[in-house]
Amino acid sequence: MSGGESKLLPRHVGIIMDGNGRWAKQRGLPRTEGHKAGVAVFERICEYAADLGVPALTFYAFSTENWVRSAEEVAGIMELFRCQLQKAHRRAAENEAKRWRIRYIGDLEPGGPVPADIIDLLRDMERKAMDKDRTVVNIAVNYGGRQEILRAARRLAVLAQSNAIAPAELCEQDLEDGLYTAGQPPLDLIIRPSGEQRLSNFMLWQSAYAELWFSDVLWPDFTEQHFDAALAAFVRRGRRFGATGEDEKG
């Protein structure tokens, strides 16, 4: 698929990077090698999607539930984040030339389970890439969809308690303003490779009308052609947003 077709493009694509462990196992490698291969694919797909002009992407990198994995695997994934961030710091000029900028979403409060040095690095990288014109790439780390909604609800409760907002007047936008993705378009398309067909607590609010695309390919084997196939399926589907087929919104 080439650029210049932006009216057919989803405004926001969510990607559940799954299958790294199985990919590594098939090759007799440690699971961390699968995640390493997954990072390389992540970079390729960011570049490809940004070239096409997709406005926003969100990659599910580490969920609030992933902490129950072996200490070795968790440490390996954290080390991958650290390496990626350190590499990005060293290559500031290269980042400037990229057509995408990275944001991190999830519970990244100091004092939480994500190592403090990683939080410092990623917040610093975000500050250096505030250019709003580029494709936004959200990386979800220590992220859970229910937790995100709960956090947004708490914010509203605090506002209501201080009489800044009347409960009866609350609207969807008020809740959305408290999500990590506030100000970004809702998900139009979710891609999940590796044969699993579920959301796994990924962006539950933002996916209300998302088209879902599943494939058996394992994430480290995912290519630009798979991304194209997902985009083509998205274009073929009639999106009705609850209306009848004769009254389509998009």
Nearest to 42 by CA among 65, 60, 67, 25: 60
Q: Which of 125, 139, 179, 231 binds ligand FPP (CB under 6 A)?
A: 139
Chain mean position to CA 160: 30
Structure tokens at 108: 């990244």
* Contact call for residue 88 and ligand FPP (CB under 6 A): no
Please report where in the chains the tokens 């009254």 appear, as a residue: 247
Alpha-carbon span 116 to 161, nearest angstrom: 32
Taking the complex as a whole, the smallest distance from the CB of residue 34 to ligand FPP amounts, in Å, to: 6
**C-alpha distances out from residue 214 to 8, 10, 146, 204, Å:** 20, 16, 22, 17
Does position 192 interact with ligand FPP (CB under 6 A)? The reply is: no
18 is catalytic: yes
Site pattern 10..29 for ligand FPP (x: CB under 6 A): -------xxxxxx-------
Q: Does 42 bind ligand FPP (CB under 6 A)?
A: yes
Closest distance of CB 119 from ligand FPP, Å: 14
**Which of the stretches 5-13, 55-63, 170-178, 225-233 binds ligand FPP when contact is defined by CB under 6 A?**
55-63
Residue closer to ligand FPP by CB (options 83, 243) is 83
Q: How far is the CB of 234 from ligand FPP (least distance, A)?
A: 22
| Single-letter code of the amino acid located at 173 | Q
Q: Which part of the chain contacts ligand FPP (CB under 6 A), choosing from 60-68, 93-101, 145-153, 178-186? A: 60-68
For tokens 């891609």, the residue is 191
Span of 59-67, 93-101, 147-155, 231-239 interacting with ligand FPP by CB under 6 A: 59-67
The CA-atom distances, in angstroms, between 179 and each of 90, 134, 157, 185, 228 are 31, 21, 14, 12, 29
Give catalytic status of residue 20 as yes or no: no
- Tell me whether residue 18 or residue 211 sits nearer to ligand FPP (CB atom): 18
| Closest distance of CB 204 from ligand FPP, Å | 18
Q: Which of 18, 20, 138, 142 is catalytic?
A: 18
Quick check: 136 binds ligand FPP (CB under 6 A)? no
| Cβ neighbour number for residue 110 with a 10 Å cutoff | 9
CA distances from 158 to 54, 166, 236 (A): 35, 11, 43
Residues annotated as catalytic (active site), given as ranges: 18, 66
